[in-house]
Structure 1
Amino acid sequence: MSNEKVINFMGLRKVAAAFSIALVLVAIGSLAINQLRFGLDFTGGALIEVEYAREVPLDQVRETLGGAGYQDVTVQTFGSPTDILVRLQQDHTPTLGDEVLATLREGTDTEVSLRRSEFVGAQVGEELREQGGLGMLLALGLVMLYVAFRFQFKFSVGAVVALAHDVLIVLGIFSLLRIEFDLTVLAAILAVIGYSLNDTIVVSDRIRENFRKVRKGSSEEIINLSLSQTLGRTLVTSLTTLLVLLALFFFGGEMIHGFATALMIGVLVGTYSSIYVAANVLMAMNVCREDLLPPEKEEDAELDERP
């Protein structure tokens, strides 16, 4: 074994497994009970854009619409601080834009003008929801095939379990906190799959390399060595990514809050899963050096058997 410092990650594998299972069960329970709060892209409804003469607080716009009886209202800036986008999860009528405009004018002393009033059909939203779900399942299936081809079947199971773990936890948090789930969040979920897969492949590559290079040591020791060697790279990548996402969250505007939130959760959970989920699955499946050694050729085996 190497003389470099090795952290005993797998010594806590049972605790990590219990923690991960608990998180996934809570996420599944929330998704079953609360479900996701789908945005206008998936549910259908009205989209109205208005322009104020000067900047107004978004909370004031929400309170005005809520006081007028409008339910499930999403209010956000669109481009400039004076352009406000209002999303209503209700049937669209030809006069809805004018009605909302009149309500907003009553709630402020600033001039307000209507820019556009559109309707997103529920049928379109349903198709987007189905295609988005199929897209995530297809991505997981292709990941499993790729990792099995590049490494070995046990590694592909570990990678897919880690990805499913990350996606379920992100969806569960969105369900628990009732954060709106729209197309930007779906894009973030797919990005989380890519980010987590990249981390898992880096770790898997080092585990395979060490199994072939290190002659002595148990599977647990080799996995601990591999995780210790890749820890620095994993942490630096995660921290720099989080810095960018924090900037997007605080300064990118409300339109990409959901996107930045999903990615921040995904980066944190993906960093954890690349260490404690994928490697934990390998340990549970009893990965060993023989799984990664190239098969002996028949001619070489016959030569070895000759006296």
Structure 2
Amino acid sequence: MRLRLIPDDTKINFFSYAKLTFGGSIVLLVLSVVAFFAFGLNYGIDFKGGTTIRTESTQSIDVGAYRAALEPLQLGDVAITEVFDPGFGPDRNVAEVRIQAQGDAESVAPETIAAMEAAMTAVDPNVTFASVESVGPKVSGELIGSAILSVVGAIGAIVVYIWLRFEWQFAIGAIVALVHDVGLTIGLFALLQIKFDLAIIAALLTIVGYSINDTVVVFDRVRENLRKFKVMPLIEVLNLSANETLSRTMMTSGTTLLALIALLVLGGDVIRGFVFAITWGIIVGTYSSIYIAKNIVLMLGVKRDWSKKDPRTVGRYADVEGK
């Protein structure tokens, strides 16, 4: 007896709320673009350049006292944030001190870091310095360019793969779904001002791979059913294919989310942004493979495969269906 989260014979009409699902996605994508330009991304040290010092103390963090102690050093833009985590006990108080890049220097001078540590130690004798990370302006600029190229290159390679394996309508559906997933993720990070660093770029690439995997599974079943049901309307073929793969989709996404939620709760603040991005990406990726990619294919129509004879279609060589 096997577990069934989704019945085998589901007959959900995924297009019954197309105006709400597809239209809602367009609205959210537009809002994501607005959020990106209105709030911008909270770039981490990888993209912004500068130095981040992570401190730990048994005493509660006094951000104002830290800032006052560092002001005489004239370091420019200094951001001090207290890090909260459910796994931290009352005797573990963590803060991150971020300093802007100092001119064209690739890293803050050791003397400057030593002066900062001395100033914060004067405020809190129990403070310890867990890590120090520095990225110069030149390196951060190169990382931004490389990050953009990596995401665009991954999407481009996937589109070529889909185009070769399926027809061009499926490729367009796949690229719209991928842009939807990446766009909503970036918009959410801009809205919530979650730190955006190289780990998030890795998460975006993971989201792209996961989303396209789910989309290809649905597209494979669509292609099979187009050959099997030669006179069935395209919208019914798409609905049938989504229902037939729904159990697999929910099982795969569900088990992945279980692991991600465990990491989100217990993994600590260091990887929380990365795990949050993938968790959100799994949700929107599953959604887009069902509600976005198929809608695009339905709008564009597909050419039927008449390589196998069907008595009801003798004499016909091609058929293009739209809405």
Bin for the TM-score computed over the shorter chain: 0.7 to 0.9
Aligned residue for 1:65? 66
Shift of 1:287: 2.5
Does residue 10 (structure 1) correspond to residue 15 (structure 2)? The answer is yes
Aligned residue for 1:300? none
Of residues 115-124 and 244-253 in structure 1, the stretch that sits farther from structure 2 once superposed is: 115-124
Identity of aligned residues (%): 36
Alignment of 1:49-128 (within 5 A): 55=58, 60=61, 62=63, 64-66=65-67, 68=69, 71-73=78-80, 86-90=96-100, 91=102, 92-110=108-126, 112-114=127-129, 117=132, 119-128=134-143
Contact 1:196 1:270 in 2 (8 A): yes
Q: Distance in 2 between matches of 1:295 and 1:225?
A: 20
- What is the RMSD computed on CA atoms of the aligned residues? 2.9
Question: Equivalent of 2:43, from 38, 42, 54?
Answer: 38
Aligned residue for 1:171? 186
TM-score when normalising by structure 2 = 0.80
Residues paired across the two proteins, number:
287
Shift of 1:250: 1.5
Unaligned runs of 5+ in 1: 297-303
Shift of 1:65: 3.1
Of residues 85-94 and 157-166 in structure 1, the stretch that sits farther from structure 2 once superposed is: 85-94
Residues 224 and 121 (structure 1), Cα distance of their counterparts in 2 relative to 1, 3 Å cut: same
Q: Distance in 2 between matches of 1:117 and 1:12?
A: 51
Aligned residue for 2:229? 214
Residues 108 and 133 (structure 1), Cα distance of their counterparts in 2 relative to 1, 3 Å cut: same
Q: Distance in 2 between matches of 1:115 and 1:15?
A: 49
Secondary structure of the residue aligned to 1:175 is helix
Contact 1:163 1:193 in 2 (8 A): yes
TM-score when normalising by structure 1 = 0.84
Secondary structure of the residue aligned to 1:217 is coil
Aligned residue for 2:155? 140
Contact 2:80 2:95 in 1 (8 A): no
Contact 1:196 1:271 in 2 (8 A): yes
Residues 241 and 19 (structure 1), Cα distance of their counterparts in 2 relative to 1, 3 Å cut: same
Q: Distance in 1 between matches of 2:301 and 2:22?
A: 16
Q: Give the aligned residue type for 1:65.
A: Y
Contact 2:45 2:134 in 1 (8 A): no
Q: Distance in 1 between matches of 2:276 and 2:129?
A: 31
Unaligned runs of 5+ in 2: 1-7, 72-76, 103-107, 310-316, 318-323
Does residue 233 (structure 1) correspond to residue 248 (structure 2)? The answer is yes
Of residues 240-249 and 165-174 in structure 1, the stretch that sits farther from structure 2 once superposed is: 240-249
Shift of 1:98: 2.6
Secondary structure of the residue aligned to 2:199 is helix
Shift of 1:4: 3.8
Q: How big is each residue's C-alpha offset from its partner over 1:169-188, in whole Å with a ceiling of 9 and x where there is no partner? A: 00000001111101111100
Q: Distance in 2 between matches of 1:74 and 1:183?
A: 20
Q: How big is each residue's C-alpha offset from its partner over 1:50-78, in whole Å with a ceiling of 9 and x where there is no partner? A: 565xx556xx265653454573335669x
Secondary structure of the residue aligned to 2:17 is helix
Shift of 1:261: 0.8
Secondary structure of the residue aligned to 1:9 is coil
Residues 294 and 39 (structure 1), Cα distance of their counterparts in 2 relative to 1, 3 Å cut: farther
